[in-house]
Amino acid sequence: MSQQHSELSAQQQLEAYGYKQELKRSVSTTDLLVYGLVFMVPIAPWAIFGTVYNSSRGMVPLVYIVGLVAMIFTALAYAQMAKSIPLAGSVFSYVGRGIHPTAGFFAGWAILLDYLLVPTLLYVFAAESMVGIFPGTPRWLWALLFVAINTVINLLGVSS
pTM: 0.58
Residue 45 lies in a domain: yes
Residue 5 lies in a domain: no
Residue 6 lies in a domain: no
Q: Provide DSSP, 80-148.
A: HHHHHS--TTTHHHHHHHHT-HHHHHHHHHHHHHHHHHHHHHHHHHHHHHHHHHSTTS-HHHHHHHHHH
Residue 51 lies in a domain: yes
Contact 64, 45 (CB under 8 A): no
Res 1: pLDDT: 46
Range of the domain at 84: 27-157
Residue 90 lies in a domain: yes
Res 142: pLDDT: 92
Residue 11 lies in a domain: no
pLDDT at 2 exceeding the cut of 50: no
Domain total in the chain: 1
Which of the pair, 23 or 120, is modelled with greater confidence?
A: 120
Residue 19 lies in a domain: no
Residue 50 lies in a domain: yes
